[in-house]
Structure 1
Amino acid sequence: MSESGPANPARRTLLSGFVAVAASQLAACGGGGGSSGTGTTVQTPPATGATATDLPVVPLVQGTVDGSGTRVFSLQVGAGTTTFRAGIATRTLGYNGALLGPALHLRKGERVRIDVQNSLTESTTVHWHGLDVPAEADGGPHQVIAPGGQWSANFTVANPASTCWYHPHTHGATGRQVVSGLAGLLVIDDPAIGSTGLPNNWGVDDVALVLQDKRFDSSGQIDYTLTANDLQVGYTGDVLLVNGAVAPIFKAPQQWVRLRLLNGCNSRTLSLRLAGNLPLSQVANEAGLLAQPVVRNSVTLVPGERAEVLVNLGTASLGQDIALYASYAATGMGMGSGGSQGEVAAMTIRVDKLAQVGAMTAVPASLPAASAITAPAGATARTIRLDGGMMGSPFTLNGRSFDIARIDMRVPAATTEVWTFTNTTMMAHPMHVHGVRMSILTRNGVAPRVEEQGLRDTFSVDSMETVRVAVRTADTPSASPLMFHCHILEHEDAGMMGQFTTA
């Protein structure tokens, strides 16, 4: 993540029925503090004259505890329809519903089983993005669930308090299945650290925001027809949705509120800010709490990345609308992770009720962050070169495309190594490594920014940049492969992925 102001070039015109209106209409649509200029647009509700929808609250499910003390969750992967535009039933995919999925509430140290039923007519997988789980439970391309089939992931929760997510990892179909609606959150608490004092009333002052972009065809169906540009820089949509809704309104209490942000886009980098540049106090990155909050005007997330921020709505007036803006960035050729094509008002926060009794009154000065991974002297070093992409050629890792029958690296279990990611291409690539704990050591020889410190699972490697990362493998050896790959899903599907074992 990086902190940068939004840029203002014009963005693509939205599909008819998901119309962008001029910046001059911001006040009527929830600007609540001004815009950054002529590049700012507002998404209207899905039909002319319709009332904007309330923000859908992501259900937080607890599962059930069986006789052995294992917490059991059930997910059904299925097809359905969702109304994005009045009068049109759009075909979508979802977990336990027509679109997206519930947030699974996990606790560090607890034994968990997640039973998955595939009710689709095609194969899928479910990957627990960011979870430190055995390779056999990872849900990568080796754990395929056939149509009508079942699969169970068994593991003990090892992650610190954090916000992770789950999504398909079906090789060659990940991008299409994710944009069709398959994504859900994993909310991990750590009972050992006790109360952090952070807002935790789910759906009231602790709110999950899943941000994704989609394209729609003339009949209102999700369009995943990949163009040459999509294959090169990744799929980009015309419409930005929050929790599956266009331009929703979150009705918030007049107090500090915690926003759990997920960039669930296939390829877009999103830079998020509030109207009037209301400060964001970042308290966590994608892998856990930061040692100290970082106050920022904007937060930039690459695909797959998460962050948790606190917003002080106690200074707002009752009835005040505050827009959440997203720069509609695309990591195109020649761009870093902050390249931008303009800005859109993704949703509105409406302060419509008094503060709750016992609400947080101040941001904690420090937080119980997990220790970063450090590299011991003499640690094994590996280089992963991000290359290809010239003249329409595929992007690769170390000059090779993914081969599910080939193991690219054999890394000992319970070992800390230094992996150097060197990007030789003309665009940024968000890199994700499965089943390990990581911390960034340097970017081009310089220590990472404070918000990048601590544990990580997804990070950008900008064009012509070198990022050194300390990687700690799981304690238990496994011959089952784990993935490392670009999280631009079209690059991943096309083979910008490798695999390693810890046997």
Structure 2
Amino acid sequence: MTGLTGLTGLTRRRLLLLGGAGLAGAGVAVLAGCSTASTSSVSEPEEFDTPLPIPPLAESRWEAGTRTFSLRAQEGSWQFQPGAHGASTWGFNGPYGGPTLRANVGERVAVEVGNDLPEATSTHWHGMHLPAEMDGGPHQMVEPGDTWRAEWVIGQAPCTLWYHPHPHGQTERHVYRGLAGMFWLDDPQDPVTQALPHTYAVDDVPVIIGDKTFDDQGELVIDDGGNEVGLLGDVVTVNGVAGARLEVTTTLVRLRILNASTARIYSLGIADRSMLMIASDGGLLRSPLELERVRLSPGERAEVLVALDPGDDVRLHSFEPELGSVAAPFAVGANDSFDVLRLVAADELAASAEVPEQLASFGLDAAAVGPRRRFELEDREINGARMDMARIDETVELGDTEMWTVVNRNLFPHNFHVHDVQFEVRSIDGEPPPPELAGRKDTVYLEPQREYELLMQFIDYTDPQMPYMYHCHLLRHEDEGMMGQFVVVQPGERADPSMISGHGGH
């Protein structure tokens, strides 16, 4: 396996065997014969002196009361490390990554997505509440040379979302090559959000984390070598560069952090100080949360405030992530610890406003729960089935509040992402979730062998023919079938898979 260091011989097949064995017995027996020394497989730059690139804010135009953006998926070349050759990459409106789309709550928006790539792709608005036909999943593919238009009204709380491809069986490769960007939702009328740092690229900064592997010619290596969770790169980048440095000019800086990796899980913090977490996937928490580190699995976001004094020079670090009772932690990145981003404060800092004690008010009514559903993730299946593009797995009625119980039956990581909604984690093994999981979420890490209760409500949009997805967001798992489909219908209506029946199985 060229260029991918730090992986072990514990391959998919062996971990699959462990998955059904339980924590006692097979899992312990394998670990007993393996070293679990804390040695990181990530290669850190000697210097963190590369200026952090900031994705540009996407331009928009107004057409008949609609804020309209234009994106084009295209090929390019990108230099991830100083002195390295440019690698062949894909990006939106540029060689790598994509611009930050920014819109206000209540606005009607449209995005025109053109495809200049040599193969079909799609663009999914991760975390967005919108009609299924606009979701950008595997049923909304854009062929080379074509343009697809999605249009909807922003009807959710201010938050940090993102967009990325979602082609069935190819998502890992498309995202890894660079097709990903952020989508920020604002509410300029909300005094709380206006009191928080909100000046783009000054005190409010996108932090898109991804790990990569390169061959001897500096090209991206898209090869996980059989590792169960997928590709764990040995070079960690922020906004597309390794060893990034952010110059800070205010006493508080807001980092909007996205784990855009295909498999790696991060536990992020700063060694000598705590952070204030103010938001998770779907928007602001009820109140600021002081914490030392936050765990993010692929697809999850967190917004944190970091306080700095003049002249401070600190590192955002990924500590060894606590992943639960996983087998062979070295094989899934749980023994990796490394710096991610350097924060350097100016000698004089502009004062930031005081952080409000209360941020947001929200909450679904658990007493109103109607249908309850259970989803067991094991190997590459959910409830014993792999993804079938022509099959509707679940039918949800408009207006229902539902409780979904989700379980990871394996001894290696999974997580769970639901399209269309922001859910609340109501309990883990019957106990309240930790406070960092008490906000609005669309993606949650599943520690092995634990039951997660997710509360969600389905409003506004119905379509008996066009489905939304739920799936593991470790992208190799998704590509290999760990995904299902649901439709939202009017009360008493039935699902109609006729529109998608020609797509066939996995």
Matched, 1:443 2:435: no
Alignment match, 2:156? 159
Deviation at 1:98? Answer: 0.3
Alignment match, 1:432? 417
Matched, 1:285 2:280: yes
Alignment match, 2:307? 312
1:182-207: CA deviation from partner (whole Å, max 9, x where unpaired): 11001111234234311111111111
- Which of 80, 90, 93 is 1:93 aligned to? 90
Alignment match, 2:208? 210
- Which of 69, 75, 80 is 2:71 aligned to? 75
Give the TM-score normalised by the residue count of structure 2: 0.85
- SS of 1:354's partner is strand
Alignment match, 1:111? 108
In the TM superposition, 1:188-203 aligns within 5 A as 188-196=185-193, 197-203=195-201
Deviation at 1:57? Answer: 1.2
Alignment match, 2:359? 367
- SS of 2:50's partner is coil
- SS of 1:447's partner is coil
Structure-2 separation of matches of 1:383 and 1:353: 55
Structure-2 separation of matches of 1:317 and 1:308: 22
RMSD across aligned C-alpha pairs, in angstroms?
Answer: 2.3
Structure-1 separation of matches of 2:41 and 2:485: 41
In the TM superposition, 1:41-190 aligns within 5 A as 43-44=44-45, 52-66=49-63, 68-85=64-81, 86-190=83-187
Structure-1 separation of matches of 2:171 and 2:185: 24
Give unmatched runs, 5+ long, in structure 1.
Answer: 1-10, 14-36, 390-394
Matched, 1:351 2:345: yes
- SS of 1:76's partner is strand
Cα distance change on mapping 1:65 and 1:234 into 2, 3 Å: same
1:389-438: CA deviation from partner (whole Å, max 9, x where unpaired): 3xxxxx21000000000000111122111111122111231100001231
Does the CA contact (< 8 Å) of 2:224 and 2:232 recur in 1? no
- Which of 404, 421, 436 is 2:406 aligned to? 421
Does the CA contact (< 8 Å) of 2:196 and 2:353 recur in 1? no
Q: Which amino acid aligns with 1:345?
A: D
In the TM superposition, 1:18-57 aligns within 5 A as 43-44=44-45, 52-57=49-54
Structure-2 separation of matches of 1:254 and 1:312: 9
Structure-2 separation of matches of 1:182 and 1:328: 27
Structure-1 separation of matches of 2:271 and 2:438: 27
Does the CA contact (< 8 Å) of 1:116 and 1:151 recur in 2? yes
Q: Which amino acid aligns with 1:12?
A: G
- SS of 1:451's partner is helix
Cα distance change on mapping 1:379 and 1:335 into 2, 3 Å: farther
1:255-312: CA deviation from partner (whole Å, max 9, x where unpaired): 1111100011101110111132x11000001110001100011111111000001111
Deviation at 1:342? Answer: 2.3
Alignment match, 1:22? none
Alignment match, 1:381? 372
Does the CA contact (< 8 Å) of 2:407 and 2:451 recur in 1? yes
Alignment match, 1:31? none
1:350-378: CA deviation from partner (whole Å, max 9, x where unpaired): 1125223xx42432211134x12233345
Structure-1 separation of matches of 2:410 and 2:39: 32
In percent, how many aligned pairs have the same letter?
Answer: 36
